A and B are shown apart, each in its own frame.
Chain A
Amino acid sequence: MLENQFSTPRHQAFLGVIIIFAKNVRRFINGVIAIVAYSYFGGNSSSLYIGVAIGLGVIGMGIWSWIQYKRFWFHVDEQGLQIKDGVINKEKITIPFDRIQTVHLHQNVVQRLLNMTGVKVDTAGSAKKELEIQALTKQDALSLQDLLQKYKEQLAAGWANQTGPAYSTQFDSPRVADTESASVKEEKDTLVKLTFYQLLQVGLTQNHIRNGFVAIGFFFGLYWQFDNLLDDFIGKSAREYADEILTSWVMVLISGLILFLIGSVMLSIGRTFLRYFDLHAYLTKKALHVNAGLLKRNEYTVPINKIQFVEWYSNFLREIPGFESMKIFQGQSEDSKKQSVVVPACFDEQTSKLMKTLFPESTEFPGFETHKVDSFYERFLIFIWGALATVSSIVIALAVNMTSGLIALVVLLAVIFLCSKKFVNSITLQFNGQMLLYQRGWLFTKRTALKNYKIQSVSWTQSFFQKRRNTAHLTLYTAAGSRTVRFINADLAKALHNFLLYEVEVSKKSWM
C-alpha cells in the first residue's frame, strides 16, 4: 500500500486565508470598479461614503475568506481525492484516480509572494472546471502531486492486468505521455533559462511596429469606453483646445510618430517581462516543459510525441545578439484549443540541442538535399507589387504633381526589386528522407522543421501561369496547421507528393 500523508481530512496552509482573500478582492474589484470610478469622477457622492463602503466591504470579505478557509477540507483515500467545500451550500467532491488527467502546480502573484503553491487537478470528460487546492507549501504540493500520480499508476497497472493487452493498446501513448508530464521526480535537462539581461534583449528585439498597433487599438478601445468619463473630467474647454492642436498637424504627426515608437518599445519590453519573466525550459524523457511569467506563472507541458512541427523565427534586430525564438506547434484535439508554446530566445547551442532531441532524424540521417525555389517567384512578386506601386504612383502624380509621382515610382520599384530578390534567394527547402526543413525570409527569417510521418495530407497546386514555367506550390497539412512551399519545380513537387504519402502510409508511429 502507498504511504499516504494526506489520509486524514485537513485544511490548506494557514496563509491560504490571504490567498482566498486576495481572490475575493480581485473578484470584487472586477465587479464594482466601473461603479466606483463613475461615482468618484462624477463627484455625485461624497468620498467619505465611498470610503466607508469600501472599508465595510474589505472587513466583510476578510471574514468571508476566513470562513471559506475553515470550511475547505481535503484528503486522499482509496476512492480518490476528497474535497469538502462551501460556506452556504456545502459540497462534497470525490475525484476518482482514473478521472484525474493531470495534476499541475501553479503560482499566481499572491501565491508567489507568500511562497505557497496551488495544486490544480484536471479531470477527464466532466463539464466542471478544474479543481484547485489553492495554498500548500511547495513540499506538500509536490508530495500530493506525487501521491495522486502513484495511485493513478497503480490503478492503471491493475486494470492492465485484469483486461490484458486490449487496454494498453486502446490507451496508447497519449495517456502515458500525460502521466509522465505530471511526474516531477524525473530527470530535468535544462534547455533555456533566461537571465534579466537576455530578457531585456528579447524585449528590445520584438516586432515593435506590430506591438505598437496593438497598443493603439487598446488605447482607442479604452478611450471610447471612458469617453464620457473623460469629458466630465477634462471639461469641454480642453476639447476645443485639442482642435487647435489638430490644425498644426505636422507637429502632431511627428510627435505622434515619436510617441508611437517609444510606446511600442515600452510595450514590447513590458509584454516580454510579463510573459517570459524567469523563463525556464527543460526537457524530461517524454516531454518539453516551459515555465514562465511574472504575475501569472504559466507552466506548459508538451509531450514530445504530440509535437507536430517546430518553427524558429528571428529578425534583423535579433541577429545582433544572435538568438532565435522557437515556437512549438501541438496537435489540436477536438476538445482542447490549439496550443503553441513559445521559447523566446534560443542561442545556437540550444537550437542544436533541441534539434537533436526533438528531431533525432536530423543528425541520424545527415544527407540533406537542398532545393531553391524557381526564379519565377521573384518575377511574380515584382509583377504583383510593381503593379500596385504603379497604381499608387499614378494616384500621387494626379493628386500632387508629376515629379512626386515619378520619385515615388522609382523609390517603390527599387525597394520591390531588392526585397523580392532577397526574399526569393533566402528560401530553401531541405530534406533527408525523414524530415523537412523549410527556411524563408530576408529581414524576418523563419524556419520550419517537420517530420515526414507527422503529415496528414498533402496537396500540390499549379496555376495556369505556373504550368508554362513548370513550377508548383506544395502544401503539407498537419494536425497543427499547414505550411505551403511556393514556386518549387513541379517535378519536385510531384515527387515529394508521392514520396511523403508513401512515408506516411508505411509509418506505424503515433503521430498525434
Chain B
Amino acid sequence: MAETFSNLKIPSDQVQPIEAVEFDKHPKQYKKLRLIGWVIQFTLLSVIWVLPLIFFPPVAIGTCAFWLILAGLRLAEETIGFHIRGYVVRENDITYKKGLIRFTMTTIPFNRVQHTEINQGPIARAFNLSTLSIYTAGGSTSDLKLSGLDPDTAQRLKDFIAEKSGKHA
C-alpha cells in the first residue's frame, strides 16, 4: 500500500495516466449502425410530435428550428463524435470514453467487476457487432456497456476480464 500522497503524486513507474494511453477504436460498421439509429429515432419522434405542431403555425417555426438544431447536434455527435469514442484495457482496469458535446470517461477496475456478459441484438447481428456489458455490485449506476464491438474482440475482452476479476473474487 502506498502511504500518504501530497498533491496526489503517484509513483510514476507504477501508474500511467489514462489520458496518455492510446485508445482502441470501434470497427467502421458501428458508425453506420449508430447513423441508422439516428435516422430511426428522429423520424419516429418527428412524426410523433413535430408534425402535429405544424398545424399550429405560430409555434411551429420555433419548434421546428429547435428540432433541427437538436437533430443537427445529434448528427454531429454521431459523425464527428464517433472518432472520440474509444476503449482501452489496461492491466487492472477497463476505460471507455465518448462524447463530443458532453465528454465522459469511465473506468472500472477489474477487482470491482461482478460479472460480464455479451449480447447481440438483431440489428447488431446484421452488422456483425456485439455488446459487452460489465457489471459491478449494487444497482446499475456503475455498469459499463461497450456496444459496437467485433464479436471476437468482445469474447477476448470478456475472457480477459473474467480471468482478471476471478483472481479477486
Which of B47-55, B96-104, B123-131 binds A? Answer: B96-104
Cβ of B116 within 8 Å of any chain A Cβ, yes or no, is no
Choose one: A369, A481, A499; the contact of B10 (CB below 8 Å). Answer: A499
Cβ of B139 within 8 Å of any chain A Cβ, yes or no, is yes
- Max chain B C-beta neighbours (<10 A), residue from A459, A503, A512: A459
Contact: B104 with A497, CB < 8 Å?
no
Nearest residue, chain B, Cβ from A366: B4
For A504, the chain B residues whose CB sits under 8 A away are 109, 111-112
Q: What separation, in Å, do the CA atoms of A481 and B106 have in the docked complex?
A: 15
If A332-B139, A338-B139 touch, whether A464 touches B102 (CB-CB below 8 Å) is yes
Cβ of B150 within 8 Å of any chain A Cβ, yes or no, is no
Cβ of A335 within 8 Å of any chain B Cβ, yes or no, is no
Cβ of B43 within 8 Å of any chain A Cβ, yes or no, is no
Cβ of A120 within 8 Å of any chain B Cβ, yes or no, is no
Contact: A459 with B104, CB < 8 Å?
yes
For B144, the chain A residues whose CB sits under 8 A away are 457
Which of B15-23, B33-41, B60-68, B154-162 binds A? Answer: B15-23
Min distance, Cβ B130 to any Cβ of chain A, angstroms: 22
Contact: A457 with B108, CB < 8 Å?
yes
Nearest residue, chain A, Cβ from B104: A461
Q: What separation, in Å, do the CA atoms of A457 and B100 have in the docked complex?
A: 22
If A333-B137, A501-B93 touch, whether A506 touches B106 (CB-CB below 8 Å) is no
For A478, the chain B residues whose CB sits under 8 A away are 138, 142
If A367-B4, A456-B112, A494-B17 touch, whether A477 touches B105 (CB-CB below 8 Å) is no
Q: What separation, in Å, do the CA atoms of A464 and B100 have in the docked complex?
A: 7
Contact: B93 with A505, CB < 8 Å?
yes
Choose one: B101, B112, B137; the contact of A464 (CB below 8 Å). Answer: B101
Min distance, Cβ B18 to any Cβ of chain A, angstroms: 6
For B137, the chain A residues whose CB sits under 8 A away are 331-333, 456, 479, 512
Min distance, Cβ A442 to any Cβ of chain B, angstroms: 27
For A73, the chain B residues whose CB sits under 8 A away are none
If A432-B4, A463-B101 touch, whether A505 touches B92 (CB-CB below 8 Å) is yes
Min distance, Cβ B169 to any Cβ of chain A, angstroms: 10
Nearest residue, chain B, Cβ from A473: B104
For A467, the chain B residues whose CB sits under 8 A away are 103
Cβ of B1 within 8 Å of any chain A Cβ, yes or no, is yes
Min distance, Cβ A95 to any Cβ of chain B, angstroms: 28
Contact: A456 with B141, CB < 8 Å?
no
Cβ of A482 within 8 Å of any chain B Cβ, yes or no, is yes
Contact: A479 with B105, CB < 8 Å?
no
If A456-B112, A459-B104 touch, whether A498 touches B10 (CB-CB below 8 Å) is yes
| Total residues of chain A contacting the partner, CB 8 A | 42
Min distance, Cβ A362 to any Cβ of chain B, angstroms: 13
Q: Bits for A409-432, please: 1 = Cβ < 8 Å to B, else 0.
A: 000000000000000000000001
Contact: B141 with A482, CB < 8 Å?
yes
Cβ of A458 within 8 Å of any chain B Cβ, yes or no, is yes
Contact: A367 with B102, CB < 8 Å?
no
Nearest residue, chain A, Cβ from B144: A457
Nearest residue, chain B, Cβ from A498: B17
Cβ of A101 within 8 Å of any chain B Cβ, yes or no, is no
Contact: A460 with B8, CB < 8 Å?
no
Q: What separation, in Å, do the CA atoms of A356 and B47 have in the docked complex?
A: 60
Contact: B106 with A457, CB < 8 Å?
yes
If A433-B4, A502-B14 touch, whether A511 touches B112 (CB-CB below 8 Å) is yes
Interface residues of A in 308-331 (CB under 8 A from B): 308, 331
Contact: A456 with B109, CB < 8 Å?
yes
For B102, the chain A residues whose CB sits under 8 A away are 461-464
Min distance, Cβ B119 to any Cβ of chain A, angstroms: 19
For A338, the chain B residues whose CB sits under 8 A away are 138-139
Contact: B138 with A506, CB < 8 Å?
no
Choose one: B10, B93, B105, B110; the contact of A460 (CB below 8 Å). Answer: B105
Contact: B136 with A456, CB < 8 Å?
yes
Q: Bits for A451-478, please: 1 = Cβ < 8 Å to B, else 0.
A: 0000111111111100100000000011
Cβ of A226 within 8 Å of any chain B Cβ, yes or no, is no
Chain A residues packing against B (C-beta within 8 Å): 308, 331-333, 338, 365, 367, 369, 432-433, 455-464, 467, 477-482, 494-499, 501-507, 511-512
17 further A-B contacts with Cβ under 8 Å, apart from A338-B139, A464-B100, A498-B18, are A365-B4, A456-B142, A457-B106, A457-B109, A457-B144, A458-B107, A464-B101, A479-B137, A481-B139, A481-B141, A498-B15, A501-B92, A501-B107, A502-B15, A505-B92, A505-B111, A506-B2
- Subset of 21 A-B contacts with CB under 8 Å: A333-B137, A338-B138, A338-B139, A433-B8, A456-B136, A456-B142, A457-B106, A457-B109, A457-B144, A458-B107, A462-B104, A464-B101, A477-B141, A478-B138, A480-B138, A495-B8, A498-B15, A501-B93, A504-B111, A504-B112, A505-B111
Report the 9 A-B pairs with minimum CB-CB distance, sorted nearest first: A477-B142, A479-B138, A456-B112, A459-B106, A433-B5, A457-B142, A332-B138, A505-B92, A479-B137
